[in-house]
Amino acid sequence: MRPGLSPATASNYEMFSRLYIVPDLGDRSLEKLAVRDVQTWVNELRVRCQCCFQGKDAARPQPQCCARGQCCNEVASEWTVHQAWRVLRGALTQAMREELVFRNVAALVRVPVPRAKRSAAWSVDDARRFLESARDAGDAMYEAYVLLLVLGLRRGEVLGLAWEDVDLEQGEAYIAWQVQRVDGQLLRRRTKTPSSDAPLPLPDIAVRALERHRTEEDRRRLAAGDMWGDCGLVFTTRLGDPLDPRNFHTAFKTRAGKAGVPIVPVHATRRTCASLLVSLDVHPRVAMAVLRHSRISMTMEVYSQVSSQATREALRQLGGRLGDSAI
């Protein structure tokens, strides 16, 4: 299935296949794979200790549980079971397209969709305190945090933003690229949402932050001299190389702790941005444009279109809500 998948998705599918599918079903021929085989596999995943089965504890320099005869009962979560089943179902669907099998036995097995856990989201005051803490401490990622909260950018989109995609005079940015770590390598690739190709208006708080960031980058470039990486990205390491998403995530959580706000994943800032838009009575279509959702069902049910001017106005209000005191 790799040719039609993004590198990150292909790597994720490979991981689920290697750890959860192949060990149980890898020795079965496709034409002989039955519904009962898949159901038995799903049932086994729900109760099997993965630490024992995958030899996790045995691989440690000093075994702590299963390898010492004290099973930790590390069973797969409902989400993991469901995702493993989805990968198998997708593989068999591809096999049907290639006429290797004539029915998808995995699709005939019912695996309930796990109930999503409600994640925490920052309030307006939390967002303000976080930005003020980053600003006052001279955090090198302050400007990136502004884009996360004001525009609802994803982590990869922030790190994939290049200066050539930013027009500070017009107050616009094209959010069409993302940086991901796949199989130990950093990749910059296009986003999945076609609507990301449209320019996104930048509120004043974002324009001022990026202008200051460009000045600081010029200073760092001169200081680094020939060692400067010059990758063209807006947010880089001290030597101008692309930032690792994992390092950015660590820095974000560290800053949240210092700011005294709930420590949430970087992706949760999108929910914070959405909550802020809702609190400002922003039209659902505008929120969809700001957050760049591919389907309105991902935002909420709506019944009318809105103009790009409304999108710009909503972003201006959102920047004002965070306040000039965060700059």
Tell me if 275 sits within 8 A of 299, measured CB to CB. Answer: no
In this prediction, residue 1 has a pLDDT band, given cuts at 50, 70 and 90, of: very low
Q: 60 and 9 in one domain?
A: yes
Is residue 160 a part of any domain in this protein? yes
Predicted local confidence at residue 273, as pLDDT: 77
Q: Each residue of 64-92: pLDDT tens digit? A: 898 888 899 999 999 999 999 999 999 99
Q: Give the separation between CA 229 and CA 236, rounded to whole angstroms.
A: 9
Tokens found for residue 113: 């969709």
Q: pTM for the whole thing? A: 0.70
In this prediction, residue 304 has a pLDDT band, given cuts at 50, 70 and 90, of: very low
CATH number at residue 95: 1.10.150.130
Domain count, the chain: 2
Predicted local confidence at residue 299, as pLDDT: 55
Q: 196 and 145 in one domain?
A: yes
Q: 75 and 6 in one domain?
A: yes
Q: Each residue of 186-215: pLDDT tens digit? A: 888 887 665 556 678 888 888 899 999 999
Q: Give the separation between CA 161 and CA 232, rounded to whole angstroms.
A: 9
**Phi, psi for 301 (deg, rounded to 5):** -70, 135
Q: Each residue of 159-170: pLDDT tens digit? A: 999 999 999 998
Tell me if 279 sits within 8 A of 124, measured CB to CB. Answer: yes
Tell me if 159 sits within 8 A of 266, measured CB to CB. Answer: no
**Beta-bridge partner residues of 179:** 188
Q: Which residue has the tokens 């995702």?
A: 83
Close Cβ partners of 312 (under 8 Å, ≥ 6 residues apart): 201
Q: 188 and 93 in one domain?
A: no
Domain limits at 287? 124-326
Q: CA end-to-end span of the chain, whole Å?
A: 47
* pLDDT greater than 70 at residue 279: no
The proportion of the chain whose per-residue pLDDT surpasses 70, expressed as a percent, equals: 79
Q: 317 and 218 in one domain?
A: yes
Q: 291 and 147 in one domain?
A: yes
Is residue 17 a part of any domain in this protein? yes
